[in-house]
Structure 1
Amino acid sequence: MKVKIANNAGFCFGVKRAMNMAWHELEERENGIYALGPLIHNKQAVSKYEDRGLKTVNELNDIPSNESVIIRSHGVGEDIYIQSKNKGINVIDTTCPFVKKIHSIAKEYSAKGYKIIVIGDKDHPEVIGINGWCNEDAIIIKTLDEIDQLNLDANEKYCLVSQTTINLDLYNSIVEKLSERLNDIVFKNTICSATKERQFSAKELSKEVDCMIVIGGKHSSNTQKLVNICRGIVPTFAVETKDELDINELKKFNIIGVTAGASTPDWIITEVINFIESI
């Protein structure tokens, strides 16, 4: 049995930066620190940080005044910064720079009178955050078919952005379809470079192996997109840790490919590889 690893797998720049910043803050404080929502979509990694003193909350109201809060890499809406300031809560902002760029675009074009269209999952924290920079008024679509259900005005101005982890093929298809329907639309490809590289690497590796293993959190958007890409080419197993792997299933394959989502720590990837190689 041979194992091949995708060229781009595991923590992306934004997640690595956020995790390093959060760990630094934990080391500086005896009483821990709050995080608004799970730091990343990987419960094993978050658990390690919580053991060190990270306190995860879902609402700003759960944080006492004069405390500090970590804004995770997914980012938040503008109102969170305003509310934090009003409550006297210090913000440690680990928002990914790629996501920050989308916030700036959404705010700028919304102020100019453009209607913002976001390609993404309306329930994903990144998309919720983006919507919070354009008056909670964005049109959010997840699939190409949803465009047909939109009441778009050809005489209005629109600006399109996307969740950083959206599949590039989906983005291009939506751009093509909206170009046919609208006269005045600005397209901003805000898929981050790390996402494009990770998806391309996973797709190429899938062509060289008998099966793929995609490691990452069940709630990780970028991980699930990797799963869908690989499944379109070769049998694919989606797991969070090595404990979910089935030895009898894996024995059917000679060459196994491995990739991982942007929120998957190196130590979990290493455990999976070691497990496969031990079969």
Structure 2
Amino acid sequence: MKVILATPRGFCAGVIRAIEIVEIALEKYGAPVYVRHEIVHNRHVVESLEARGARFVENLDEIPPGAVTIFSAHGVSQAVEQEARERGLPVLDATCPLVTKVHNQGRRYEGQGRAVVLIGHAGHPEVEGTMGRMTGAVHLVQTVADVAALDLPIDTPLAYVTQTTLSIDDTRAIITALERRFSNVVGPDTRDICYATQNRQWAVRELAKSADIILVVGARNSSNSNRLREIGEECGVPSYLIADEADLDRAWLRDARSIGLTAGASAPEVLIERVINRLGEWQKIDVSTLAGREERIQFRLPAELLEA
């Protein structure tokens, strides 16, 4: 059985930075430190940090007065930021810099007098944080049908921003629908789209050219991991999202001679290794790595942690 690894796969720079912020905070300040929401959408990462003293909460009122507080990689609204300030909580912001860039783009478009459309998934913490960064109404669209339902005049000056876990390919149809329906539409350059999302989706399309099935390691609540599985299916290859090796089903492999293996941006490489080991227990495997796009991007830590 051939096992072909995607390149790139797994952790992106924003996820690495977020996890490092929690780890260094624990070293510098001691346990516990409190993280609002899962630092990234992966149970294994969360449980590992919990074992070292991180405490994950959904609301700031669960955090004791004066406790070190970390905002997750997904970002938070201005209201959450203000609440932390009013409570005097010392905050470390682990928001991915590319998410922050979307926040800044949205506010800049607002400042130009444009109505802002956010392309994203309702209920996702990044979407909630981005919408909460705008001072006015934000129009959330998830489908082309949502564009048709927008109650705005055709000549409304409009601008769109996107959830970072969606690539330009994911949003192209919606953007086209916006440009067809409205006469004055602007949006970010394609170079501003999250590099990690684009690269991992490109790698799955490459895997699909030579794999009989595709396995995506990632959490069920990880938007980018779910999208990788969907892309595999769109390419005509049976694709499965698994949290770890325990989710593997031998029936999937019955007629397969090659397995494509990748991971969402919040899944650690150790999970890939565990999946490979499980496959190797079932039958002899030959592991190779598909050539792909090299990622060298690194994001700086918050100033409070640089010295540590």
TM-score normalised according to structure 2 size: 0.87
**Structure 1: runs of 5+ lacking an equivalent:** none
Match of residue 171 from structure 1 = 171
Which gives a bigger RCO, structure 1 or 2 (Cα 8 Å, sep 6+)?
2
1:254 paired with 2:257, answer: yes
Deviations 1:222-260 (A, max 9, x none): 000001000122011210010110124324211000011
How far apart are the structure 2 equivalents of 1:85 and 1:209?
51
Q: Structure 1 length as normaliser, TM-score?
A: 0.96
Q: Which string of whole-angstrom CA distances, capped at 9 and with x for unpartnered residues, describes residues 61-112 of structure 1? A: 2112222211111111122222211110011011111001011111222233
- Alpha-carbon offset, residue 135 of structure 1: 2.7
Gaps (5+ residues) in structure 2?
283-308
- Structure 1 stretch displaced more, 162-171 or 67-76: 162-171
Shift of 1:136: 6.1
Partner of 2:194 in structure 1? Answer: 192
Question: 1:228 maps to which residue?
Answer: 230
Shift of 1:4: 0.1
Cα drift, residue 273 of structure 1: 1.5
Q: Deviations over 1:186-217 (max 9, x none)?
A: 11245301110100111111121111001100
Partner SS for 1:21:
helix
What is the 5 A alignment of 1:45-64? 45-64=45-64
Preserved contact between residue 31 and residue 54 of structure 2 (Cα < 8 Å): no
Runs of 4 or more consecutive aligned structure 1 residues displaced over 4 Å after TM superposition: none
Quick one: which amino acid aligns to residue 81 of structure 2? Y
* Distance verdict in 2 for CA 1:167–1:30, change over 3 Å: closer
Q: Does 1:264 align with 2:263?
A: no
Q: CA deviation at 1:52?
A: 0.8
CA shift for structure 1 position 144: 1.8
Corresponding letter in the other structure for 1:230: G
Separation in structure 2 between the aligned mates of residue 105 and residue 248 of structure 1, nearest angstrom: 47
**Contact residue 32 and residue 55 of structure 2 kept, 8 A:** yes
Q: Is the 8 A contact 1:120 1:162 kept in 2?
A: yes
* Corresponding residue of 1:75: 75
- 2:133 is the alignment partner of 1:130: no
- The size of the alignment, in residue pairs, is 279
Percent of aligned pairs sharing the same letter = 33
| SS of corresponding position for 1:113 | coil
What is the CA–CA distance in structure 2 between the aligned matches of 1:277 and 1:205, rounded to whole Å?
A: 20
- SS of residue in 1 equivalent to 2:205: helix
